[in-house]
A and B are shown apart, each in its own frame.
Chain A
Amino acid sequence: MIPLSWYLLVAAALFCIGLYGVMARRNAVAILMSVELMLNAVNINLIAFWRYHAQPVGGELVWLGQPTGLAWAIFVLALAAAEAVVGLALLISVYRQRESVIAEELDTLRF
């Protein structure tokens, strides 16, 4: 008895919390964690739409169980794993060179 919009609202909230973390946290590891939150929010959306996607068959709305949403959620999962691996490797590499992972201090690309 849960309407679709509830899931979408939770996902939106999670996404915005993650976005806030990305914008406001100083520590790069924390930023990465926030990005993971945003990716999770997207996945909730995908799965919710997958479960609520019904098609009219003979005048009735029927859930057909096409795998599209699930498949893309799996891909997002794999991409998130790849992103986390590369991101953390970059962080460790940066930390070795500069003894810091504060995002504000990594501003070589200015002016």
Chain B
Amino acid sequence: MSEETLTLFTWLVPAGPLLAFFLIILLFNRNKTLSWITAWAGIFASLFFGWTVALTVFFEGIEDLYALAHHPEVIESAIAWLPFGESIEGWLFMGVMVDPLTAVMLFMVPFATAMILVYSVGYHRWGLGPGDHVVLGAPNHAGIEPLFARFFALMSLFAGGMLALVVSDNLLLLFMGWEIMGLCSYMLIGFWYAREYEDPKSTPPRRAAVKAFMTTRAADVVMLLGIVFFYRVFGTLNFSEALSAESLATAADVVGFGALGLMALFLFTGTVGKSAQWPLHVWLPDAMEGPTPVSAVIHAAAMVSAGVYLIVRIFPLIAVAMEGLPVVGIIIAGIGAFTAIMAATIALAQYDVKRVLAYSTISQLGFMVAAIGIGAYVAAAFHLITHAFFKALLFLGSGSIIHGMEYGAEVVHDHHTDPQDMRNMGGLRHKMPITFWTFVAGGFALAGFPFVTAGFWSKDEIFAEAWFQGTHGNPMAIVVFIVLAIAALLTAFYTARQIALTFLGEPRTELAEHAHESDAFMTIPLVLLSLFAIAFGWLGIPDNFLGTDGIFYNYFHHFVGVTVEERFVELNELGIHVHEIATLPWEWLPLITSLVVALGGLFLGWWVYGRDPLAAGEPDPMEEPLGPVWDFLYWKWYWDELYHAVFVEPVEYFSDTVVYQLVDKGLIDGTLHLIGRGVYGVGAYFKGFEETVISDGVDAVKDGFLDMSREMRTIQSGKLQEYVLVSAGIASVLAILILAINFDVLNPVFEWWNNVWINVILPF
């Protein structure tokens, strides 16, 4: 395929969904069928273009990896977009770029999004009638979603934003896609804006949407600062120009490692917000309030992946900054590892089937960020892709479960039992076999079930990398290794818990008793995604697995590694020592660790929850032995309460006592009252004066004012021409005044006034 065609295809990747968005919004918003067909057309066009580009690049890599390493940017095309100064060099460029990293993203994002859009048609009950109680902005369990077209329009825009971000060749376009997703996430999390809960502690979708938007926005401000800093230092926002070896070395010379480290941390803050890392992770669990396909697209294909994609994309910058300023790496790895283990512990004690997955997402993103923090570039990217596949699968599976439960609720007319609470499920294995098997595939991938699933290989690569770094002079990496190992153990444990609580045993409520399998729109994407959740990992089997040589080939590592490999070699030649992207020597310990944590966690989970399934009304078997720790985990480490106490309440307190009571009521109102009282007093005095002495005179003044206002009223004549006359008159008078001042005509007047001021008025 010729280069021009490929470039055109790359430009067209984000175009399909964006076009679909406008078509649906402007033309098809009344026709539900046409709107999903349009959305499908858009995303499948992207899928076609994206896969064509990705596979072309991939085969180029297989053919000649060496050439690809020397020129990783296979496709680069840009147009001058915004004048930024006087010359053509001062233009901001906007363009697309495809290197191996982009290619793997282009492989994952359109596919996962397409599957989610296919699934959504079934999820929103297309084909059913409108149902009895249609409330706009509330979930409709009995019929088709009333805001069907809006959903598909926004999902298309979301996908378009993500694809634009992926193919972008500069930080600005990336930021635009980033913000489009921020907007869409706000509108989609709050999609069921009319939904209310009786429990005041739970968050309705409206508030969840605002929370997500505000939290990520706080991070984006810092990120924007980082982008400006980036432009200031490198003079361009283009990735391949700014992050080339020479450019980085020059920047390190000119502004120093400290500034580069600060810039990396600024940009990383954007990731912290978007990818829900501690301390800004609080929005993501509440984002579960959106429809399940939205959760899937936020958690897998788009939003949170974008955050990690950003730090993977600017990894050369981070690597250089870490080299000169190790604290950057410690902060990034520390935040990642802490988030990974914190979220994993919270997930242990959640009952909502989607909330468990939400915390597991946060935890897995922590794995990726920690990997970046210790310099494991490829491992992070690999885990990003595999995680996207199996997490999309898990979310869609959980949506299918909820759908089945809601069907049961419709059958038995029970609208008080929570269809998302795992305590109300059980025994769904027989009711929903396809959902069960695909969910098991996804869950085992998440837990890292050895040798078969994708999650095992990507986690194993992170462990291997951490162990290698740790044994080669980076003590931080050992800490990361241990923390991540514990987190992985917990992950396997809560995955087993979730599967056991949901599918095993006997139905614990009428809802679960009457649940049934979802339709083909929903099951087909599950099956397709489960294939990738398993098989994609086989692309990343380490070269010398088990000490063999030449049997396995780590396609993923070599392919994505060449994106920066050559650059790092050059950097080392220029005297900046960064970790090279190299094939690691074989070690047994990381493999044993992965095996132990995955199998051990799954076994423990089965032993606690699966061996003796929960009966109806029984508490969680972990609740009693853990005691107060359980509450601590159940209430998510009290982060929300802490933030409420530290950020929300002081602001409210400040607004209430200082601004409202003191400034508004005390100062402003007090002043006004004082003036009022003073005027009132003066008025009373005049009243007496008038009544006794010069009633007539005051009457005369009153009449005078009345007459004057009658006269003045005629100014407001409503006659156009009078207004024109007045404005023209004023314009001429002003013009004459300005001219007079310019030509010094008025100088004598000024001098006279000066004299009067100095000699007459000032002496007083």
Contacts and interface: CB of A to CB of B under 8 A. Distances in A.
Interface residues of A, number: 13
Contact of B718 (A19, A23, A109): A109
B498 to A, nearest CB: 65
B713 interface: yes
Interface in A61-110: 103-104, 106-110
B724 A107 contact: no
Contacts of A104: 719, 721
B718 A107 contact: yes
Contacts of A103: 719-721
Nearest to A110: B718
A80 to B, nearest CB: 18
B759 interface: no
A104 B716 CA distance: 13
Given A24-B721, A110-B716, 5 more contacts: A19-B724, A22-B724, A109-B718, A110-B718, A111-B716
Max count, chain A CB within 10 A of own CB: residue among B716, B721, B725: B721
Interface in B518-554: none
A85 to B, nearest CB: 19
B717 A23 contact: no
A69 to B, nearest CB: 21
B728 interface: yes
Q: Which 3 A-B pairs have the closest CB atoms?
A: A110-B718, A107-B718, A109-B718
Contacts of A31: 720-721
B589 to A, nearest CB: 73
Interface centre among A106, A107, A108 (most CB of B within 10 A): A107
B719 A111 contact: no
A107 B719 contact: yes
Interface residues of B, number: 10
A22 B727 CA distance: 12
Interface of A: 19, 22-24, 31, 103-104, 106-111
A111 B714 CA distance: 8
Given A24-B721, A104-B721, A19 B728 contact: yes
B175 to A, nearest CB: 34
Contacts of A22: 721, 724
Contact of A108 (B718, B724, B728): B718
A111 B713 CA distance: 7
Nearest to B728: A19
Contacts of A107: 717-719
A14 B240 CA distance: 59
Interface in B321-352: none
Contact of B728 (A23, A110, A111): A23
Contacts of B728: 19, 23
Contacts of B713: 111
Contacts of A106: 718, 720
A111 B715 CA distance: 9
Contacts of A23: 721, 724-725, 728
Contacts of A111: 713, 716, 718
Interface string B701-722: 0000000000001001111110
Interface in B157-187: none
A110 B717 contact: yes
B205 to A, nearest CB: 45
A104 B713 CA distance: 16
Contacts of A109: 718
A22 B722 CA distance: 10
Contacts of A110: 716-719
Contacts of A19: 724, 728
